[in-house]
């Protein structure tokens, strides 16, 4: 960070109430906005800590308003969907059981296609199968659903030769036009994975599709 842009000015005189002159002492500490910001956040958090503890106490005495999603199973390849619906798809097009039966797969086995294993990986995965990019998905057609505040989407993912060759939307009950997810379909095909976790600058209307693809890929893993 380069110093000099933001000079801390403390104790500016309140109009008409003090006579403290504004001055810049040579010893005055220069701080970046990042410094001012983090000090502000810490200061507010410290004061409010007690308030949030009170809220927590209130909560622990009552029913916790958790999401309607059922308990979550591990979804390999899913990078986002904490609330992923793990119930079997209502359209059993394959013999494969739905996401509930998906075996928890080692973290790191689902990185972007072609990327090297991340060096900062946490507890090493169990030394079981670590599929290569080519074999990470089992061939077949997988159908799964995703839901969001904006509505539900069903996706059909086709794996051939270990690769995702299709990730079509096969049912769409969303408040927004379903073609909105078309670029995500391309992203799934190009990355061979679920789309990005989030999109900055956009409300997350694509959640249902991403969840559906994640659930389908969980079956395929």
Partner 1 sequence: MVLPAGRALLAPSSTGAGAAPRTVEPIFHATEVFMDTLVAIDIVGRDSERQGAVAAARAYGWFREVEARCSRFDAGSELMQLCASTGQPMPVSPLLYEVLDFALAVARASGGAFDPTIGATMRAAGFNRNYQTGLAIEGGEAKPGEASYRDVHMDRGRRMVALGQPLTLDLGAVAKGLAIDLAARELQGFEGFAINAGGDILAGGLNASAEPWRVGIRHPRKPRALVDSVRVSGAAVCTSGDYERAGAAGVAHHILDPKTGRSSAHAMSVTTIAPSAMLADALGTAAFVLGPEAGIALLEAQGIDGLIVDEGLAIHTTKSFARHRA
Decide: helix, strand or coil at residue 110. coil
Q: Are the C-beta atoms of residues 158 and 148 closer than 8 Å to each other?
A: no
Whole-number Cα distances in Å, 115 to 27, 120, 132, 134, 137: 49, 14, 11, 12, 16
CB atoms near residue 103 (< 10 Å): 12
* CA 153 – CA 180 distance, rounded (Å): 12
**Single residue of 28, 118, 135, 173 touching partner 1 by CB under 8 A:** 118
13 counts as binding partner 1 under rule CB under 8 A: yes
Contact region with partner 1 (CB under 8 A), list: 12-20, 91-99, 131-139, 153-161: 12-20
Nearest-CA neighbor of 205 among 186, 171, 177?
A: 177
Residues 61-90 that bind partner 1 (CB under 8 A): 64-67, 69, 71-84
Q: How far is the CB of 44 from partner 1 (least distance, A)?
A: 5
Residues 23-42 that bind partner 1 (CB under 8 A): 32-34, 36-42
Residues 179-218 that bind partner 1 (CB under 8 A): 180-184, 187, 195-204, 206-207
* CA 76 – CA 122 distance, rounded (Å): 16
126 counts as binding partner 1 under rule CB under 8 A: yes
Cβ distance to partner 1 smaller for residue 75 or 157: 75
Cβ distance to partner 1 smaller for residue 95 or 119: 119
**Single residue of 90, 92, 97, 104 touching partner 1 by CB under 8 A:** 104
Residue 114, phi-psi category: left (phi > 0), alpha (psi -120 to 50), beta (remainder): left
55 counts as binding partner 1 under rule CB under 8 A: yes
Residues 159-178 that bind partner 1 (CB under 8 A): none
Nearest-CA neighbor of 220 among 174, 125, 170, 155?
A: 155
Q: How far is the CB of 213 from partner 1 (least distance, A)?
A: 14
Q: How far is the CB of 195 from partner 1 (least distance, A)?
A: 7
110 counts as binding partner 1 under rule CB under 8 A: yes
Cβ distance to partner 1 smaller for residue 29 or 93: 29
CB atoms near residue 148 (< 10 Å): 20
* CA 113 – CA 162 distance, rounded (Å): 12
Cβ distance to partner 1 smaller for residue 170 or 196: 196
């Amino acid at each position: 960070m380069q110093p000099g842009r933001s000079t801390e000015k403390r104790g500016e005189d309140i109009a008409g109430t003090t006579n403290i002159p504004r001055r810049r002492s040579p010893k005055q500490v220069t701080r970046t906005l990042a410094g001012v910001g983090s000090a502000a956040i810490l200061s507010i958090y410290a004061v409010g800590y007690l308030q949030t503890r009170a809220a927590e106490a209130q909560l622990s005495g009552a029913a916790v308003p958790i999401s309607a999603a059922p308990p979550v199973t591990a979804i390999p390849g899913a990078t986002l969907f904490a609330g992923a619906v793990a119930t079997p798809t209502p359209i059993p097009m394959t013999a494969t059981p739905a996401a509930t039966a998906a075996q928890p797969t080692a973290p790191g086995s689902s990185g972007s296609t072609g990327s090297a294993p991340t060096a900062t990986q946490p507890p090493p995965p169990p030394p079981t199968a670590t599929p290569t990019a080519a074999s990470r998905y089992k061939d077949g057609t997988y159908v799964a659903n995703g839901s969001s505040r904006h509505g539900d989407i069903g996706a059909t993912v086709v794996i051939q030769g270990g690769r995702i060759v299709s990730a079509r939307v096969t049912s769409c009950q969303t408040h927004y036009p379903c073609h909105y997810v078309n670029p995500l379909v391309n992203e799934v095909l190009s990355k061979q994975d679920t789309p990005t976790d989030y999109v900055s600058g956009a409300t997350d209307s694509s959640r249902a599709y991403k969840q559906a693809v994640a659930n389908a890929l969980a079956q395929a893993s």
